[in-house]
Chains A and B, each alone.
Chain A
Amino acid sequence: MKLGEVIKQKSYEKIVFIIREHWLTYVPTAIMMLILAMLPVALYYVTITTNPTFFDDLYQRTFLILVLSMYELSIALFFYSSFLMYYLNMLIVTNDRLIEIKQNNLFSRLVSEMDLYKIQDSSSEINGIIPTIFDYGKLTIETAGELSNFTFTAVPRVNEVRRRLIQLAEDDRKYHNSTEAHQI
C-alpha cells in the first residue's frame, strides 16, 4: 500500500512534503534500549567475579539462558515498537490539505486533516541549545473558526517549513477564491 492510498489522495493533489520529528529526539530511547540490552552482559561479569561456580549447574544455566533469551527478545520488540511509534507519527502536507497521523500505540491511530485555505497563521518556536544547533522546533498552525490548532513538535528546519506552509495556504486560498468567483 502506498501513502497516497492511506490519505485518500485526490487526483489533483500532490504530496509536497512529509514531516517527522527530528531523529535526535529518538536517540535517548535508542541509547536506553542499548543499555538495557547490554545489562545481562554486565550482570554476567559481576556474577562470575563474585561467585565463579554460579553457572556450573547445567539446568540452572539452561533456565537462565531461556530467561535471558526472553529478556533480549522483549527488548528487541520494545525497541522496534518504539521506533514505529516515532516513525508513524507524521505530518503530511499536500497542495490541498494538511494531514496529521498520530500513532498513539500499536493499535491506536489518530488521523486529523485540515484544508490548507483554512490556515490563518503559522508560528515556529525553537527553544534550547540542542534544538538551535540542530535546527528543529515546535510548529503551531492556527485555523479560522472553531477548529483546534495543530501543534507538531521537533519539526526539522521549522522556520523553512512555516514559510512554505504559509505560501501553500496562500496559493490554496487564491485557488478557492478564483473557483468561487467562477461559480458566481
Chain B
Amino acid sequence: MANFPFYYILFAYLIFLAIFFIFSFANISHLYATGTFTLPAFAVTSIVSIWCVLILGATLVSLANVNWNTTVVLLGPAGFVTFQ
C-alpha cells in the first residue's frame, strides 16, 4: 500500500510542460537561425501557439476546483486506487 498527496501528479505534469517548452523554443529558434521565419511559417506557428494556449487554458479551468491535498492510496483495502 502506498500513499501520496494528489499534487505529486502535478509535478509530473510540470516536468512534461518544461520539456514541451524547451522543444518548442528549440523549434522556433531553428526557424529564426535559418532565416526561414516567413509568412507560412509564421501562420503555422500562430495556429500551433493558439492550439497550445487553448489546451492549457482548458486544463487550468477544468482543474480549478480540485483539492490537491487529497491523499491517493494505491493498493489499499478499499481498492486499487482510492482518494481520502
Contacts and interface: CB of A to CB of B under 8 A. Distances in A.
Do these two chains really belong together in a complex? yes
Interface of A: 1-6, 58-59, 62-63, 65-66, 69-70, 72-74, 76-77, 79-81, 83-84, 87-88, 90, 101, 103, 106-107
A84 B30 CA distance: 8
24 contacts: A1-B33, A1-B35, A3-B36, A5-B35, A59-B66, A59-B72, A62-B66, A65-B62, A65-B63, A66-B10, A66-B59, A69-B13, A69-B58, A72-B51, A72-B55, A73-B20, A73-B52, A77-B20, A77-B24, A79-B48, A80-B45, A87-B36, A88-B31, A106-B27
Contacts of A83: 44
Contact of B13 (A2, A66, A87): A66
Interface in B38-60: 40-41, 44-45, 48, 51-52, 55-56, 58-59
Contacts, number: 86
Nearest to B58: A69
A76 B34 CA distance: 22
Prevailing SS type, chain B contact patch: helix
A128 to B, nearest CB: 25
A55 B70 CA distance: 18
Prevailing SS type, chain A contact patch: helix
A59 B83 contact: yes
A22 B8 CA distance: 47
B16 interface: yes
